[in-house]
Amino acid sequence: MATGHTVKAFDEDLGQLRALISEMGGRAEAAITGALEALVNRDLESAARIVEGDRKIDELEAEVERQVVRLIALRAPMADDLREVLAALKIAGVVERMGDYAKNIAKRISLLQETRGMEALAVLPPMGKIATEMVRNVLDAFVLRDAEAAVAVAARDKAVDDFYNSLFRTLLTYMMENPHNITASTHLLFIAKNIERIGDHATNVAEMVYFAATGKQMAERTKGEDSLAGDR
Amino acid sequence: MKYEALPRTGQESAMSDRRGAHAVLAFAMVAGAAWLLAAPLAASLVVGVGAAFFTWIAGAASGEPAALVPAPVVDLPDRTQEVIDAVDDALLIIERQRITYANHAARRLFGAERVEGDYRLALRHPVAADLIASDRETGDPVEIAGLGDADRRWVMSVRHVEGGAKLVTLRDRTDSWIAERMRVDFVANASHELRTPLATILGFIETLNEGRAVEDTAIRQRFLGIMMGEAKRMQQLVDDLISLSRIEADRFSVPQTPLALGPVIEEVAGVIRSGLREGGDRIELAIESAPEVRADRVQIGQLLHNLIGNAIKYGRPATPIRVALDQAQGRVRLRITDQGEGISPEHLPRLTERFYRVDAGRSRSVGGTGLGLAIVKHIAERHRATLDIESKVGVGTTVTVTFPVISRESLS
């Protein structure tokens, strides 16, 4: 923890802002884990709870925005404070998106009642596990202002992308084999895409945490092959 | 755009003021101990101040008859801090959204930095956030997954302390959760392992029933051979399950009969040699004189069968399998070494789990129930022996079982 400001209220405002982000992140993290669990267990009830819970994440984002505007207007933050406030604003937006992806996954569960035994379904949980761990670790990095941990999170994104690419191929094969599988496969593909996007967003947050902590941009990560291209 | 960090003015950190926390904590403990202390306090006042004051104080501070109150052995209020720090459960006191006290367990769980400041930095879980934000106390403790570590399970309770503070208790329930999950997994695995050969047998019966295959003797023989093999696999699995549960049932009764391990090893090696169609000479024995150990002869035989069987299955063809018995540091040491592909380190801790497979496809082809090492582990535990598996990838594996010798007093 850095040394405090002359105006203690400023420290309190910053602490409040960080706490809001942390809570938002915690909710998004739980929503993602819950959505994937509900997907595996076909648990429509908890899926509905996750969809409902997304509203709270949206409210928190609005609250973060209000706080940031107030903080900039009243305290005119400088240097690392300004970086932190801006990072908080951007992270809130990204975390809200992650919550939306979780909600999107949860919404598809009711449409996926006839996919029992599909191999792709078995690949989703490990893929989701990496993505949730990324979210979890990046939130820890944010709370502890740990630039190194943020770099470690960004490095894992490649694994999620690889999962997505292999799933894309598998699902494409399913669809070609049997047109009856197309609806279910498409939903699974969207779910996989959502998880992949969650991983990307976790990486974005990692970059913001890195910037807020060090004042430097994280070195550009090497891009893998274009995941949109699929089977060429 | 880049910002250069400006040096901050060195001010006292707003977060580090813990006096408030101590006050609340002390209050909570003192409130509980107040009536305990009332009696001796009152007694000392009798001498010092006078009878009139004593009556007043005793009446005001304690409704209990003074004779029934035991004198405290330790001066509790002075030790409050240490006592609470030593509690195994994570304890947090939260006042106006801020953690004002965290005991050792809580600091270990969240890290020292995160317990200084807003509670939401440490407790991100939505259930926890909702509970603490609301003005309710928890009735029954609430289960929470993944605090600190994604695979851990906690139960949380929130209690209100006087003065508007909240006492949050987190109890680690990971162990019982894992035990429950293992039980579920075991049932699922066992039924799966039983169903697979059964499905094969049923399939062949159906085919044989259709008629045409029955006329062709060669095909019929082949089908019956497969069915026999699968039925034997089921039998083996059921036998293993039964012996596993039997060994587990008497794991607390240490075997009493003194037994020389050398002859048992020779006998088992003989049985295995005669059972092998080829390569029976692979087993090399190196038996040195060793004292007797307290052991169950049948179970030691089973342990040897499983370990030598594994060595034969996973050692490279035609390589020797060495079974050695000797004495090391006053204990009897049994070692079984093969020259095979070895096992990579990440699998070693899980080898004795039931149905755990390093390579599922390969194990299927060499046979086995997936219970062999679990049985070995339980037998070793019952004999108070230690089981140690060492392996080098590409070189081979050595399994060591070390038995305690019979102490002299217990012999007489």
CA-based nearest residue to A163, from A194, A206, A142, A202: A194
Handedness of CA B237, B243, B248, B251 (dihedral sign): negative
CA of A228, closest CA in chain B: separation in Å?
A: 31
Low-confidence ranges of chain A (pLDDT < 50): 1-2, 222-232
Q: Kindly state the tokens that stand for A98.
A: 């992650």
Q: Which of B11, B117, B127 has the CB atom closest to A3's CB atom?
A: B11
Are A144 and B3 a contacting pair at CB < 8 A? no
pLDDT value for B400:
93
CA of B176, closest CA in chain A: separation in Å?
A: 20
Among chain A residues, the shortest Cα distance to B119 is held by: A19
Q: Decide: residue B291, CB within 10 A, 0-12 exposed, 13-18 middle, 19+ buried.
A: middle
- How big is the A-B interface in CB pairs under 8 Å? 95
Among chain B residues, the shortest Cα distance to A22 is held by: B121
Lowest mean pLDDT among B66-80, B131-145, B192-206, B378-392: B66-80
Pick the CATH number of B184-249 from 1.10.357.10, 3.90.870.10, 3.40.50.150, 1.10.287.130: 1.10.287.130
Buried b (16+ CB within 10 A) or exposed e, B235-270: eebeebbebbeebeeeeeeebeeebbbeebbeebbe
Q: Which helix (H) or strand (E) holds B173?
A: none
Among chain B residues, the shortest Cα distance to A143 is held by: B121
Q: What angle do CA B207, B208, B211 make, to 5 degrees?
A: 100
Residue tagged 């997936």 (tokens)? B370
The answer to whether B233 touches B367, Cβ cutoff 8 Å, is yes
Chain B residues closer than 8 Å to A79 by CB:
3-6
CA of A5, closest CA in chain B: separation in Å?
A: 6
pLDDT value for B365:
63
pLDDT value for B166:
83
Domain parsing of chain B, residue ranges: 15-174, 184-249, 258-411
Band (pLDDT 50/70/90 cuts) for residue B402 is very high
Band (pLDDT 50/70/90 cuts) for residue B8 is very low
Are B126 and A30 a contacting pair at CB < 8 A? yes
CA of A181, closest CA in chain B: separation in Å?
A: 27
Q: Which of B3, B121, B129 has the CB atom closest to A83's CB atom?
A: B3
Task: Tell me the C-alpha distance between B92 and B395, whole Å.
Answer: 52
Q: B15-174: CATH homologous superfamily?
A: PAS domain (3.30.450.20)
Check residues B199 and B132 and name the one with the higher pLDDT. Answer: B199
Work out the angle between the directed axes of helices A8-41 and A44-75 (0-180°, nearest 10). Answer: 160
Compute CA B22 distance to the chain's CA centroid, rounded to the nearest angstrom. Answer: 36
Q: Which of B9, B11, B14 has the CB atom closest to A12's CB atom?
A: B14
A67 reaches B (C-beta below 8 A): no
Mean pLDDT of B381-389: 90
Amino acid at A93: G
Are A11 and B15 a contacting pair at CB < 8 A? yes
User: What one-character-per-residue DSSP string does A111-171 give?
Assistant: G-TT-TT-HHHHHHHHHHHHHHHHHHHHHHHHHHT-HHHHHHHHHHHHHHHHHHHHHHHHH
CATH topology for the A8-214 domain = Methane Monooxygenase Hydroxylase; Chain G, domain 1 (1.20.58)
Chain A residues closer than 8 Å to B181 by CB:
none
A76 reaches B (C-beta below 8 A): no
Q: Which of B15, B121, B124 has the CB atom closest to A29's CB atom?
A: B124
CA of B229, closest CA in chain A: separation in Å?
A: 28
Q: State how beta strands B321-328 and B331-337 pair.
A: antiparallel
In eight-state DSSP terms, residue A45 is: H
Task: Tell me the C-alpha distance between B109 and B284, whole Å.
Answer: 51
Q: Decide: residue B16, CB within 10 A, 0-12 exposed, 13-18 middle, 19+ buried.
A: exposed
pLDDT value for B96:
80
Handedness of CA A25, B116, B174, B172 (dihedral sign): negative
Task: Tell me the C-alpha distance between B398 and B410, whole Å.
Answer: 32
Q: Which of B5, B114, B126 has the CB atom closest to A79's CB atom?
A: B5
Q: Which of A6, A18, A53 has the CB atom closest to B9's CB atom?
A: A6
Q: Looking at the domain that runs over B258-411, which CATH code has it been given? A: 3.30.565.10
pLDDT value for B364:
58
pLDDT value for B132:
79
CA of B128, closest CA in chain A: separation in Å?
A: 10
Mean pLDDT of B145-154: 76
pLDDT value for B363:
58
Lowest mean pLDDT among A58-67, A137-146, B70-79, B340-349: B70-79
The answer to whether A87 touches A211, Cβ cutoff 8 Å, is yes
Are A26 and B120 a contacting pair at CB < 8 A? yes
State the average pLDDT for chain B. Answer: 76
Mean pLDDT of B114-127: 79
pLDDT value for A48:
87
Quickly count: other Cβ atoms within 10 Å of residue B59's Cβ.
10
Testing the interface with B: which of A143, A145, A216, A217 to mutate, by most B Cβ within 10 A?
A143
CA-based nearest residue to A142, from A6, A16, A25: A25
pLDDT value for A86:
84
Are A136 and B97 a contacting pair at CB < 8 A? no
Q: Model confidence over A23-40: pLDDT tens digits? A: 888 888 888 888 888 888
Task: Tell me the C-alpha distance between B128 and B157, whole Å.
Answer: 9
A54 reaches B (C-beta below 8 A): no
Are B117 and A139 a contacting pair at CB < 8 A? no
pLDDT value for B65:
44
Strands of B283-287's sheet in order across: B283-287, B321-328, B331-337, B396-404, B386-392
Q: Kindly state the tokens that stand for A186.
A: 């498409």
Interface of A with B in 171-230 (CB under 8 A): 215-216
Amino acid at A28: A
Whether the pLDDT of residue B137 is over 90: the answer is no
Testing the interface with A: which of B120, B123, B156 to mutate, by most A Cβ within 10 A?
B120
CA of A182, closest CA in chain B: separation in Å?
A: 30
Lowest mean pLDDT among A218-222, B1-5, B362-366: B1-5
Task: Tell me the C-alpha distance between A188 and A124, whole Å.
Answer: 9
Chain B residues touching chain A at CB-CB below 8 Å: 2-6, 8-15, 97, 111, 113-114, 116-127, 129, 145-146, 150
